[in-house]
Structure 1
Amino acid sequence: MNSQGRYSTSLPPYLRRGSRRSLGLAASLLLIACDGNAANEAGHAQSGRVEKSAGVGRVSNAVEQASKAPACPSKSFEPFLQAFSNSGDLRVAFTAQPVKSKYPYYWKNNTEPGDPRYPKWVTEDGRGAATSKYRYDEKQKKFVRDERDLKPGQVWTGIGSDGKEGWFPVVDGFQVEQVSPTHYDVKYNGNAVDTYELRSDCWYYVQHWALEPIVDCKWPDECRRRREYEAEPNPMR
């Protein structure tokens, strides 16, 4: 570019002799330069296509991963409970976080049950899926007990670890109680309550409550009598 802001059309000094060979050389150099620029542009374009393709791949994987999240099995509680109890994936997806655990205060403190100086219950927040051991047995049309954990990806079918159909005992005292349109309690074994709540998208397991009737004893005499009774060895064992 000259001082007037225009590009100069004169040849460089080594090409000013006017020879055809020099002109040919100049043309060749220009062609090489053009080809190089075209190759670079093509390379950038191809690189852009590769990056774009990789980006689409990542989005595709993310969408695919998200699509694997289980849908709410039912807004009606009992069908939900049956499906939730038998699916490791549902138990992960529809356990509220944090999940609550409620138990007697004296379990983890050096106190006596019923002592009015201390609370009866403690509620703690935890993480992870529901750990309840009841499963819905389609053949019996009842909830049965199975001590094996359900891991993500596993579905309970009633088949034992040996590959054969197993026998599982019916859960003692299993009872579903509607507290409100958005709150159900599942009571079982006479000493446990699992709470489920309906949220915007589905039902969620929110709390396990370990019951101990002794915490409601009359302090101090009845409480101490009951502690002594519970401490006695059971002759039937």
Structure 2
Amino acid sequence: MKHRLRAAVLAEFVGTAMLLCAVIGSGIMAERLSGGNSGLALLANTLATVFALLVLIETLWSVSGAHFNPAVTLVLAARGLFRPEGGRRGILLYIVAQVLGGVAGAWLANAMFDLSVIEFSSKVRSGWGPWLGEVVATAGLLFVVLQAPAGRGSFLVAAYIGAAYWFTSSTSFANPAAVIGRMFSDSFAGIAPASAAAFIAAELVGAGLGTALAMLLRSPE
């Protein structure tokens, strides 16, 4: 593996791991400190996620493009906006790094809060409402990624995810790697393994819809 691709893959692993560590860790902390107030816990979880996402995109953008999300990687590759060294192998390495990073981030959060490092979530998230929420959340995310003006992507993506935590019924996972990582934490931010496949399917549908909308609204050159 060439140095540039190796650095990019490592950045995707580290970035996704730290993002999931922030999502899950802040969820655990918020649940412990909120006194049973789920709204306050979600607010704290949202703020931590937004700030972490903004920092991670800003610091790792120049290394890997700061995808941290298989849906983003696949869409950018399909649109010809992402051409890593190694071609399809490079794309696969990005996705593997993101998924492994999501799991590693969950394990790290569990360890920091003295929970079992390897555990599975019991939090069931299913039904047409949450599935539609994931379609909407991911469609919006991909639309923002594709339409963001140069240099503003990090702020717009972070702002959108923060908003979507509140206006979608699923609290906006919008990321297959995040779904897989969250399976490994039986906490506020977790998702039961039995619920994961439907969430990922909804996200892929949403990614396609968001891409299609961006293409329809793009001004002719």
TM range (shorter): under 0.3
Higher helix share: 2
Higher strand share: 1
Higher RCO structure, 1 or 2 (CA under 8 Å, sep 6+): 2
Structure showing greater radius of gyration is: 1
TM-score, normalising length: structure 2: 0.25
TM-score, normalising length: structure 1: 0.23
